[in-house]
Structure 1
Amino acid sequence: MNIRSLQQNKVRRGPSRHERMAPLATLPVFYKLQGKKVLIAGGSEAAAWKAELLAAAGAEVHVHAERLDPVFADLIAAPAVSGSYVWHQRPWSAESFALMQIAICDAESEGEAQAFYCAARTAGVAVNVIDRPAWCEFQFGSIVNRSPAVIAISTDGAAPILGQAIRRRIETLLPPALAAWAQLAQTIRKTVNDRLAPGPQRRAFWEFFVDRAFGAPPEKGAAEKMLRQANALQPAETRREGRVTLVGAGPGDAELLTLKAVRALQAADVILFDDLVSADVLELARREARRMLVGKRGGRESCRQDDINATMVKLARAGKHVVRLKGGDPMIFGRAGEEIARLQDEGIAVSVVPGITSALAMAAQLGVSLTHRDHAQSVRFVTGHSRNGELPKDLDWAGIADARTTTVFYMGGRTAGEIAARLMEMGMDPSMPVVISRSVAREGFERWTGTLRDLAGGMTIIGYDEPVLVGVGSVFAALSERQVRVTCSLVSAGCQ
């Protein structure tokens, strides 16, 4: 079956150019304050934070306060990183607003807040009274600082905690090195514009620049090297080179993605994703990225691997950044080796972003150490079926049956009965603890615990309609013990 017939997610498009802008609670504006005067009324710690922010933007901060909080005093005593401070050891007055660009007050009362607001409006100065939205013409948002790249988040004062949470999410997407790349862009922009004509050449250079900006910091001499490359760039060479990134989507929970995986999703042109990749993970991808389902799921109709390989090659040759998004880790039972080999044969750049494999997510969810020193000295991850859906013929059953090894079978639901039989044939104790985990790190997670002799019956209880992991080893005995303790505590409490 080919990929086209399996595509279920249409390309997401932005709003029509004829649609009107949705209402804005506030207008986001980036205001240059270098060398300009601003007023701070009050010497509190809250006022100090605002003063530091304004000085960082290059402002001349005039502070009107009879006394300063020790934090504020230390701030003024230390050299400002950009702007400067002037302390007027007296309360603010109407004359304080002269030549000021903006005015901020930490008012001690509602009356002072109103008076400050009215005085600022009379003077024609934009005003903010800290923590009093009724007397504010503008608010300070949460800031992600990669200056000269600066991101501000506002909730219009309604939910500052939400704004901070959004900031934390954005912080994870933007590497600290982005600041150095933004500074480098400032340095070379004029030279690039002088050397490269508008259109394909200049666009190709900046696309190459942006691809690198979300990686490691620029190395020494990067600017001159990139300028030499720009100068040598010919019109016929401006077509963007495609590449492929194999990305581990983890077991399902989007919060288990690595930062590097999220950044790859944000930079993708096309995403080829497996059936087990959750919708929450796809939500983190760039909105403009084309999404193509290439369903790879045991026991269900799947896209041929050759078709997936051919599609990656075709898209990369068209200059696309292709993300091959795989459940768990791409290098564990994911056919990544076949995909990497094909791409390398075609001369296409390929990289790998690892993910959390489902066995490790299961251990975390169950609270079980797979290599607890009292039970196991090693751990094995074993595939539970081969290409034809049966157990692989060449498994080392003697090694797997070692009682000092924890074994996790992937895709072993339909072969669970045979797995148990083979292990017992090799001498494993039929009372060896086992666990079956269904939908690990997903909605609908369930587990069954028991012994090896009952494994087939446990699968009947768990069912075959969702992915399962089968864990075998004495480390799982703790799960049964916990269940016994919970049952005993309920009985002792009268829940009989």
Structure 2
Amino acid sequence: MKLYPLFADLTGRPVLVVGGGVVGERKAAALLDAGARVTVGAPHLHPTLQAWVEQGRISWRAGTFEDAWLDDAWLVVAATADSVLHKRIAALAEARRVFVNVVDDATLSSFHVPAVIDRAPVTIAISSGGHAPMLARLLRERLEVLIDPVMGPLASLLANMRSRIRARLPDLTARRRFYEHLLGGPVLSLLRRQQQALAEAAAERLLETATVSPTGSVVLLGAGPGDPGLLTLRGLRALNEADVILHDRLVSAEVLALARRDAERIEVAKQAGNHHTTQAQIHALMLEHAAAGRRVVRLKGGDPFVFGRGGEELEFLRGHGIPYEVVPGITAALACAAYAGVPLTHRDHAQSVRLVTAHCQGSVNTLDWQALAQERQTLAVYMGTSELPVLQQQLMAHGRAGSTPFALVENGSRPEQRVITGTLSSLAERASAYEVRSPALLIIGEVAALATSLAWFGRAPLGAKLPLSSVAPQALIA
């Protein structure tokens, strides 16, 4: 977020608009709507501005700009056709710590005027930071049809009830639940029918029956591999209802950004060989917050039921009587393969898929290598970057051909995605040469060869040639 969103109360406060043309008139009109005390400085005024002066709605400083015009201003808008003057105004405003908007010059502006959806007292502002105002207006047009016109009257109704709501529901979580129930109840329908008194009575009844001590719950939510566009609609709703989010290290910042802003975020980092938070501690955190009446989202990368220990967590919650639900996520094997252009099954190459985890030596030792080495199947190996030499050795020792293609998908579905391809006999060498790091999914099987021809996302796959830095100096000389 490059700009800090801010709604300014300008009621009765002096604001200066430099420029008396059509643009200055438009800026002055918006400021008047916000209750500002507007002064327009210019040698001449547009007829509408002149009429406003005669009506006493605005003041006029006739003449060319002078430094003293800024003396009492809270804000200044530069709306002339003189770029040199605009630079001077911006510099003077900066020196006086007065916010300035320079029309059509984002670099000189310290505040920007957004496109506005007005549902007074509800205001929705959309800004492009002054760089693409037409885009902001287009977004406003699209959102206008989605924002119910009765949001303004609803806000006024709730403002009148605010003190009673806080007295009845001192707990923040309980208040949030009340507001959610209100939006799903009859109040909005009554307001749309212009039945204000009945709407107020319905809201009062809802408040009287509101639960003072809400029941806590836990949602096990799969965040997918990283691309926020892959989050399900139900998952997005859960994030926006959450009071507390317990999230894994691998959950992307872009997915977390979709959550409600005031939700408490707790990272429960777990990494092979370096467990900052134990599973028992995660269980304790879920229990603590749910017992306090909060909605907890246990947010996991991928899917909670595919190598995510979701089953253990549900058993714990059930054993302690905590209500729960599960929202599946797109697991890494599906997403990484898709974003690398690799079909996990193919009529000509693979009739089955095996999902395997190899995050440590202990898990590697339990694998059925004879079954994994069979042909005409695809292996999708999770958490295997530290065990690639063992995987390569064991599969070849049990009969999988060294010429079998592989694709290593690092940071699958994210902007920094890399795909390294090769054959099984060169797997460990190529992963080391390209310094592959977790999170990475390994795909082994004939279908992996399709990554080269079917790639569509991010950078092209890194194919047969190794990077020069990995080649021995004597080889370069030769």
SS of the residue corresponding to residue 390 of structure 1 reads: helix
Aligned partners of 2:221 and 2:326 also within 8 Å = yes
* Alignment equivalent of 1:391, drawn from 340, 343, 364: 364
Correspondence 1:321 to 2:295: yes
1:118 is aligned, of 35, 50, 63, to 50
Letter in 2 for 1:438: E
Per-residue CA deviations over 1:107-141 (Å, capped at 9, x if unaligned) read xxxxx993344335544679xxxxx96699x9995
- Match of residue 459, structure 1, among 418, 423, 431: 431
Equivalent residue for 1:379?
Answer: 353
Match in the other structure for 1:360 = 334
1:454 aligned partner, one-letter code? S
On the 8 A contact 1:434/1:476 being kept in 2, the answer is yes
Offset, 1:460: 2.6
Q: Per the alignment, in what secondary structure is the counterpart of residue 391 of structure 1?
A: helix
TM value normalised by structure 2: 0.60
- Do 1:246 and 1:351's aligned partners in 2 also have CA atoms closer than 8 Å? yes
1:408, distance to aligned residue in structure 2 (A): 1.0
Structure 2 CA distance for aligned equivalents of residues 455 and 486 of structure 1: 11
CA distance in 2, matches of 1:344, 1:430: 47
- 1:200 alignment partner, one of 151, 169, 174: 169
Residue of structure 1 aligned with 2:379, choices 392, 407, 410: 407
Which residue of 2 is the match for residue 40 of structure 1? none
Separation of aligned partners in 1, 2:219 and 2:136: 32
**Secondary structure of the structure 2 residue equivalent to 1:323:** strand
How does 1:54-133 map onto structure 2 within 5 Å?
A: 114-123=46-55
- Counterpart amino acid of 2:281? D
Q: Determine helix, strand or coil for the equivalent of 1:272.
A: strand
Q: Distance in 1 between matches of 2:270 and 2:185?
A: 33
Mark the CA change 1:417 to 1:140 in structure 2 (over 3 Å): closer, same or farther.
closer
Aligned to 2:409: 437
Does residue 292 of structure 1 match 2:266? yes
Identity of aligned residues (%): 36
Counterparts of 1:265-280 in structure 2, within 5 Å, are: 265-280=239-254
Gaps of 5+ in 1: 1-21, 31-49, 51-100, 103-111, 127-131, 488-496
RMSD between superposed Cα atoms in Å:
5.3
Number of residue-to-residue matches in the alignment = 382
Pair 1:476-2:448 in alignment: yes
SS at match of 2:284: helix
What does residue 226 of structure 2 align with?
A: 252
1:152 match: 125
CA distance in structure 1 between the aligned counterparts of 2:273 and 2:170, rounded to whole angstroms: 49
User: In 2, Cα distance between the equivalents of 1:440 and 1:217?
Assistant: 45
1:434 Cα deviation after fit: 0.7
Q: Is the 8 A contact 2:340 2:409 kept in 1?
A: no
Q: RCO greater where, 1 or 2, for CA within 8 Å and sep 6 or more?
A: 1
How far residue 242 of structure 1 moved from its aligned partner, in angstroms, is 2.0
1:210 matched residue in structure 2: 179
C-alpha displacement of 1:382: 1.8
Is residue 379–residue 445 contact of structure 2 (8 Å, CA) maintained in 1? yes
Q: CA deviation at 1:333?
A: 1.2
Shift of 1:471: 0.4
The alpha-carbon deviation at position 354 of structure 1 amounts to 3.2
Give distance in 1, aligned partners of 2:4 and 2:221.
37
Deviations 1:227-281 (A, max 9, x none): 7775455xxx612322222233332344544454444444433222222223444
Structure 1 Cα separation of the partners of residues 281 and 222 of structure 2? 20
Q: Tell me by how many angstroms 1:285 deviates.
A: 3.8
Corresponding residue SS for 1:347: coil
Query: Displacement of 1:450 after TM fit?
Result: 1.2
Residue among 275, 278, 281 paired with 1:307: 281
Give 2:176's aligned amino acid: E
Partners in 2 of 1:345 and 1:25 — Cα distance? 47
Q: Distance in 2 between matches of 1:215 and 1:328?
A: 31
* Secondary structure class of the residue paired with 1:430: coil
Q: Distance in 2 between matches of 1:392 and 1:147?
A: 65
- 1:157-168 alignment runs, 5 A limit: 159-161=132-134, 163=136
Q: Following the alignment from structure 1 to structure 2, what is the Cα–Cα distance between the partners of residues 265 and 365?
A: 25
Distance 1:335 1:188, change over 3 A: farther
Name the aligned partner's letter for residue 410 of structure 2: R
Asked if the contact 2:305–2:311 (Cα under 8 Å) also holds between the matched residues in 1, the reply is: yes
Q: CA deviation at 1:336?
A: 1.2
* Alignment-derived partner of residue 419 in structure 1: 391
* 2: CA distance, partners of 1:261 / 1:184: 30
Matches of 1:396 and 1:220 in 2, distance apart?
63
CA contact (8 A) 2:420 2:461 kept: no
Structure 2 unaligned residues grouped into runs of 5+? 12-25, 27-32, 35-43, 59-77, 82-100, 104-111, 191-198, 454-459, 466-478
Amino acid of the structure 2 residue aligned with 1:476: A
- The two structures have a TM-score, normalised by structure 1, of 0.59
